[in-house]
Amino acid sequence: MFTRIVLAYDGSEGAKLALDRTVEIAAKAQVLVLAVGRIPEYAETVSEVDEAKDQALRHYKTAVDEAVSAFRRVGIAAEGRLDFGKVGDTIVRCAEEFGADLIVVGTNPHTALKRRILGASADKVVDRAHCSVLVVRGGPAG
Amino acid sequence: MEQVWANAVVWVGLALLASIISWRIGVSVALVELLVGIAAGNLAHPQLTEWVDFLAAVGALVLTFLAGAELESATVRRFWKQSLLLGAVGFMAPFGLAWAVAQFVFRWEVHAAQIAGIALSTTSVAVVYAVMVETGLNETPVGKLILAACFVNDLGTVIALGLLYTSFGVTFWLFVTATIAAMVVLPKVTPPLLRRLNSHPSEPEVRFLLLALFAMAFLAVRGGSEGVLPAYLVGMVLADTFLANRDLVKRLRATTFALLTPFYFLRAGSLVSMKAVMGSIGIVLVLFLAKSVAKMGGLFPVGLALRFTRKINIYNTLMMSTGLTFGTISALYGFRNGIITRDQYSVLVVVVIMTAIIPTLIAQTFFEPKGQERQLLFEVKGGK
C-alpha cells in the first residue's frame, strides 16, 4: 500500500472528489495536502509577486485547512502546505521533496481548446512524476 | 471632449483586455500589455495624444520609484562587495558589447548605439524574484545576493540613462544638488510624515510621494537628464521606509497598475513597428545574442571567483540576463528624444521582450537549483 501520499488540492469539485478517493486508500499513509499558488511570470515589480502570494495564501488557506481536518477526522495523519509556481511542476517538485509514493490529482472539465492551449496540470504531473499518479476524474470534458 | 473619451475607451479597453489575458495565462500584465500594445499599434493604430503620453510618463516614473523602493538594503550591505561586482559587470559587459555591435556591425549612429547598449544592459529584479519565489531561492543567502546584484545592475542602467546625454551645465548641477538633498532629507522626513498622515482617506502620503517624484523629474529634465534617475535613487533611499509600510506600497501600486503603467506599456508596445522588426530579424537575433554572450562572458568568471557551483553560476548568469521594464524605458527614452529611429526602437523592444522570456525559460528548465543544491549554495557563500 502507499505510505506517503501527496494530494494536490485547490478546493474545486475535482479536488474534492480526489480528496474522497484519497481517504479511501490512505488509511495507513501520511498525507500532504498541497495547494499551489500561481506567481505572475515575467513580473513588473516585486510587490506584484508578493501580492500574488498573499492572495494565494488567503484563497487557499481555508480550503487546505478543511481538507487536512477531513483526513484527521478519520484518523489519517495529514499536513497542509501552500507552495508557489507552475501547478504541474510544483506538484512534482513537492512530491519529490516529500518522498511521496503516490500523487493524487483531481481534474476539472476543460474545453478541448483550453486543454490544447494551456495544457492540463494533471497531464504534466502524469508525464513528469517520479512516482505513481492517481488522476480522479471530475465532470465531463468539453 | 468627445474625442478624448473615445480615445480613453480604446486605451482602457486595451488595458482591461491585457489584464484579463494576464489573469488567464498567469503571465505578468506588463508583458501582456506590451504585446497587446504591439498588436493594437500595428492593427488598429490607437491615437497617441498628449494625455496618453503624460499618463505613460508618470507610469514609468512611479514604476521606477517602486523598483528602487524594492531594494533590500540589509542584503546589499551584507553582500556589498559581491553584489557590486556582479552588478557592475552585469551592467558594463552587455552595455559595451551591445553598443559596439550596434555601432560597428550595424552602423548605428553613436548615440543610438549607446541607447542599444543601455537598453540591453539591464536585468529585471522583479522577473528574477518571481522565478526565485517558485523555488524558495529568494529566501536563501545566494538568492538574496543575486537579487541585490540585479538591483546594482539596474542602478548602472539608470545612471547611464540619466547621465549619458546630459550637457553638465548649471541646471544639471542644480539637479544633482537637489537629488543629493532629496536623498538625504526624504528618508528623515518621510517616516514621521507617514506616521502623522497615515491612512487618511484623502491619501496624503501618496500625494506627497507624487509631489516629490514630479519635482525631481522636472529638475532632471530641466537639467538635461532623465526623470527615472532621481525616481530610482529616491526609491532606494526610501526602501526601508517602504518595507515597514507595505500597505502604502500596495495602495501606490494599485493606483499605478490600474491607471498609469497600462498606458506606459501599451504605448511602448504600440510604437513598435512589426514591419520594421520583420525586416530586421537578423539584427534582433544578433543583439539578443550580444546581450546574452556579454552577460555570460562577464558574469560567469565573476561567479567562478565567488565560488558558485557550476549550475548556480549558469543559473545566476541566465537570471541576470533577463530584462523588461528598464529595457523598454531606455528604448522609449531614446525614441522620444530623437536619439533612435522608430525602426531601431522596434528592434530594441522586441529584443528586450525576448530577454524577459528566453533566459528565464532556459534557467527554469535546465538549471533550477533543487534540494541539496540550494544548501550547497548556502555553504559556498558562507552566509549566516
Nearest-CA distance A99 → chain B (Å): 12
CATH code of the domain made up of B2-381: 1.20.1530.20
User: In the prediction, which pLDDT does B291 show?
Assistant: 96
The proportion of chain B whose per-residue pLDDT surpasses 70, expressed as a percent, equals: 96
Helix (H) or strand (E) holding A132: strand A132-136
Give the β-pairing of A77-84 and A30-37: parallel
User: In the prediction, which pLDDT does B72 show?
Assistant: 81
Distances (CA, A) of B241 to B54, B102, B249: 28, 41, 10
What integer best gives the mean pLDDT of chain B? 89
User: In the prediction, which pLDDT does B225 show?
Assistant: 87
**B382 has a pLDDT exceeding 50:** no
**A75 has a pLDDT exceeding 80:** yes
As a whole number of angstroms, the distance between CA A133 and CA A135 comes to 6
The contact set of A with B (CB < 8 A) is 38-51, 53, 84-86, 90, 93, 96-97, 118
- pLDDT band at A111; cut points 50, 70, 90: low
Distances (CA, A) of A64 to A97, A138, B220: 19, 19, 51
- pLDDT band at B26; cut points 50, 70, 90: confident
Residue B120's φ and ψ, nearest 5 degrees, are -100, 5
**B296 has a pLDDT exceeding 90:** yes
C-alpha cell at B325: 521594464
Taking alpha carbons only, the member of A119, A2, A133, A85 closest to residue B130 is A85
Which spans in chain B are helix H?
2-25, 29-43, 50-69, 73-78, 80-100, 110-119, 125-135, 141-163, 170-197, 204-222, 228-237, 239-243, 246-255, 261-270, 274-278, 281-305, 310-319, 325-336, 342-366, 372-381
- pLDDT band at A66; cut points 50, 70, 90: very high
Q: Give mean pLDDT, residues B296-302.
A: 94
**A138 has a pLDDT exceeding 70:** no
User: In the prediction, which pLDDT does B373 show?
Assistant: 67
pLDDT tens string A78-110 = 999 999 888 888 899 899 989 999 999 988 766
What integer best gives the mean pLDDT of chain A? 86
Q: Give mean pLDDT, residues B70-89.
A: 87
Neighbouring residues of A45: CB distance < 8 A, sequence distance ≥ 6: B63, B66, B67, B70, B126, B253
In chain A, residues with a C-beta closer than 8 Å to the C-beta of B70 are 45-47
Contact B129 A44 (CB under 8 A): no
When mean pLDDT is compared over A96-110, B71-85, B87-101, B198-212, the highest value belongs to B87-101
As a whole number of angstroms, the distance between CA A113 and CA B358 comes to 25
The proportion of chain B whose per-residue pLDDT surpasses 90, expressed as a percent, equals: 55
User: Do B328 and B34 meet the contact criterion of CB atoms below 8 Å apart?
Assistant: yes
The contact set of B with A (CB < 8 A) is 22, 25-31, 63, 66-67, 70, 124-127, 129-130, 133-135, 246, 249-250, 253, 257, 261, 324-325, 356-357, 360, 370-371
As a whole number of angstroms, the distance between CA B226 and CA B159 comes to 9
In chain A, residues with a C-beta closer than 8 Å to the C-beta of B135 are 85, 93
List chain A domain ranges.
Answer: 16-136
Q: A134: helix, coil or strand?
A: strand
Count of other CB atoms within 10 angstroms of residue B180: 11
Question: Among B133, B325, B368, which would you mutate to test the A interface (most chain A Cβ atoms within 10 Å of its Cβ)?
Answer: B133
As a whole number of angstroms, the distance between CA B316 and CA B132 comes to 11
Q: Nearest by CB to B249, which of A40, A47, A90?
A: A47
- pLDDT band at B106; cut points 50, 70, 90: very high
List chain B domain ranges.
Answer: 2-381
In chain A, residues with a C-beta closer than 8 Å to the C-beta of B125 are 46
Question: Is the interface score ipTM higher than 0.85?
Answer: no
User: In the prediction, which pLDDT does B384 show?
Assistant: 39
Query: Per mean pLDDT, which range of A3-12, A44-53, B55-64, B261-270 is the poorest?
Result: A44-53
Q: Which residue has the cell 498622515?
A: B197
Question: Among A36, A46, A59, A128, which would you mutate to test the B interface (most chain B Cβ atoms within 10 Å of its Cβ)?
Answer: A46
In chain A, residues with a C-beta closer than 8 Å to the C-beta of B63 are 44-45
**A141 has a pLDDT exceeding 70:** no
In chain B, residues with a C-beta closer than 8 Å to the C-beta of A90 are 134
- pTM, entire model: 0.85
Q: Give mean pLDDT, residues B260-268.
A: 93
From the number of C-beta atoms within 10 Å of its C-beta (0-12, 13-18, 19+), residue B92 rates as middle
**A127 has a pLDDT exceeding 60:** yes
Helix (H) or strand (E) holding A7: strand A4-8
User: In the prediction, which pLDDT does B383 show?
Assistant: 44
Work out the angle at residue A124's Cα, subtended by the Cα atoms of residues A118 and A127, and round it to the nearest 5 degrees.
145
From the number of C-beta atoms within 10 Å of its C-beta (0-12, 13-18, 19+), residue B124 rates as buried
User: In the prediction, which pLDDT does A116 show?
Assistant: 55
User: Do B224 and B166 meet the contact criterion of CB atoms below 8 Å apart?
Assistant: yes
Residue A41's φ and ψ, nearest 5 degrees, are -75, 150
Query: Per mean pLDDT, which range of B268-272, B305-309, B329-333 is the poorest?
Result: B305-309
Taking alpha carbons only, the member of B61, B64, B336, B56 closest to residue B215 is B61
Q: Give mean pLDDT, residues A114-133.
A: 76
As a whole number of angstroms, the distance between CA B24 and CA B351 comes to 25
**C-alpha dihedral sign at B25, B31, B33, B39:** negative
Contact B253 A47 (CB under 8 A): yes
Question: Can you give A72-91 as a three-state secondary structure string?
Answer: HHCCCEEEEEEEECCHHHHH
Q: B131: helix, coil or strand?
A: helix
**B369 has a pLDDT exceeding 80:** no
Tallying the residues shown for chain B, one arrives at 384
Q: Give mean pLDDT, residues B87-102.
A: 96
Contact A44 B28 (CB under 8 A): yes
User: In the prediction, which pLDDT does B131 show?
Assistant: 84
In the sheet that holds A132-136, the strands lie side by side as A77-84, A30-37, A4-8, A102-106, A132-136
Q: Give mean pLDDT, residues B360-380.
A: 71
User: Do A65 and A103 meet the contact criterion of CB atoms below 8 Å apart?
Assistant: no
User: Do A7 and A68 meet the contact criterion of CB atoms below 8 Å apart?
Assistant: no
User: Do A1 and A28 meet the contact criterion of CB atoms below 8 Å apart?
Assistant: yes
Tallying the residues shown for chain A, one arrives at 142
CATH code of the domain made up of A16-136: 3.40.50.620
